[in-house]
Amino acid sequence: MNLSPPDVPPQSRLSALLEPFQALRSPTFAKLYFAQTISLLGDAFTWVGIALLAYQFGREKSAVILSTALTLRVLAFIIFSPFAGVLADRINRRKILYITHFIRMGIVGGLPFVTAEWQIYGLVFLLNVFNAFFTPTYKAIISQVVEQTYYRQAIGLSTATFQLLGVLGPGLAGILAVWLGARDIFFVDAASFVMAGILILQLPGALLNGPVAEKSETKPLSAWADVVRGATLLFGDPLIRFALAIEFVSAIAGAQILVNTVGHVKDGLGLTDTYYGWVMGTFGIGATIAAFGGGFDKTRSRRVSLICGALLLGLAITGANFVGYPVLLSLWLVAGLGQSLAEIPSETLIGERIEAGQQGKVFGSHFAFSHLWWAIAYPIAGFTGSQFPGENFLYGGLLTLGLLVVVLVAGSRTTAKRTPTPG
């Protein structure tokens, strides 16, 4: 049997590649999309700046400070994101977007002037409380501003950009940090929020009102019921459940990279902020390559992409403590590849396997649980970074590979139980 794909004209391949961008034909969605993109880049500037700022407060404490700040970030997402969806149904959604943007601008503008650790923690938590209200509201608006013909393209473009900048953004910000100091990068961050806020203010306000008329006294109960239903659907599908488990594995390794790279480059290798910026930039390059070329896995389960991604991540970080800077660059390139390959398939599977009328609550549940994984992973990274400064990546990598084996064994047992006995 010939399993090779049929020849596709180059023009058709280009059209398929550009298909998600057709949604940008809507001027309103284009403004909304670019506002979100600028916001995501701003978040990347924030976290690279905080990583460098944490190092200024003490070399031996930088991993603990950064892991605590990142844990507070995801806790804000987990706690407040469910309420954001309810609020978006009750008040003007454009107000939520521009109010959260300008408040975050003010918070980020205060980060260059912090003088104590607790100030970092307080500002980070507040920053991400408002960030938690932006993302669900943004997703709720898309169906209002895009024609039904381009709705799937708009969702796909938004999801791909969110995932891509989640791993590429720190790399871009790291490159920018080569020319800017640890504190000056926050001013660029604040300026990005202003730019995004201006785009949001240009959105038609009347079009973005939530469905207030549909409110009822049972609405809060329905909201909680939808949360439970979303989690049930998320974990009820074996392929999506496997992808979510791999996301946990990748979070363990990814947290090691985000938390401990700055200390390793500056203390372990004795290099400057410039070298830290370049190594994080390399990580972003690897993620970008995988994001655009990661469609090689066309299987129904996406297991090849998921397993390869987690394996590459675990192997890349395991030996990072024992190599020089040039090799570290190569390892972080591989780690970036692995991060995208391990994380992108889950939302694709949700879009393919969950009926359209249920996808919103499932995507919301996925958003909460995927951040919960990072809330678990960041303290682990902080512990290894503070307790084993010369071997933190080794232990993080061994833990990643060990968890991957557990996931694969558990997945194979589940598959075996579901396989009917012949006869």
144-187 pLDDT, tens digit per residue, is: 777 767 766 676 677 667 766 766 676 677 777 667 666 777 88
| Percent above pLDDT 70 for the chain | 75
Domain range 21-208, CATH class: mainly alpha
* Among the ranges given (32-46, 283-297, 375-389), the one the predictor scored with the smallest mean pLDDT: 283-297
The pTM for the full model equals 0.70
- Which CATH topology does 220-423 take? Growth Hormone; Chain: A; (1.20.1250)
What pLDDT sits at residue 72? Answer: 87
Q: How many CB atoms lie within 10 A of CB 369?
A: 18
Domain assignments of the chain as residue spans, ordered by start: 21-208, 220-423
- 177: helix, coil or strand? coil
Q: Are 188 and 41 in contact (CB under 8 A)?
A: no
Q: Do domains 21-208 and 220-423 have the same CATH topology?
A: yes
Query: What integer best gives the mean pLDDT of the chain?
Result: 78
Residue of 168, 385, 387 whose CA lies nearest to 265: 385
Pick from 141-145, 178-182, 186-190, 266-270 the range whose average pLDDT is largest. 266-270
What pLDDT sits at residue 266? Answer: 87
Q: Is the pLDDT of residue 315 over 90?
A: yes
pLDDT class of 356 with cuts at 50, 70, 90: low
What pLDDT sits at residue 49? Answer: 81
What pLDDT sits at residue 218? Answer: 42
In terms of phi and psi (left: phi > 0; alpha: psi -120 to 50; beta: otherwise), the region of 146 is: beta
Return d(Cα 305, Cα 298) in angstroms, integer.
9
What pLDDT sits at residue 61? Answer: 74
Pick from 2-11, 27-36, 150-159 the range whose average pLDDT is largest. 27-36
Q: Which residues contact 397 (CB under 8 A, 6 or more apart)?
A: 253, 256, 314, 315, 316, 317, 318, 319, 320
Residue of 149, 146, 381, 363 whose CA lies nearest to 250: 381
Pick from 59-63, 176-180, 259-263, 399-403 the range whose average pLDDT is largest. 399-403
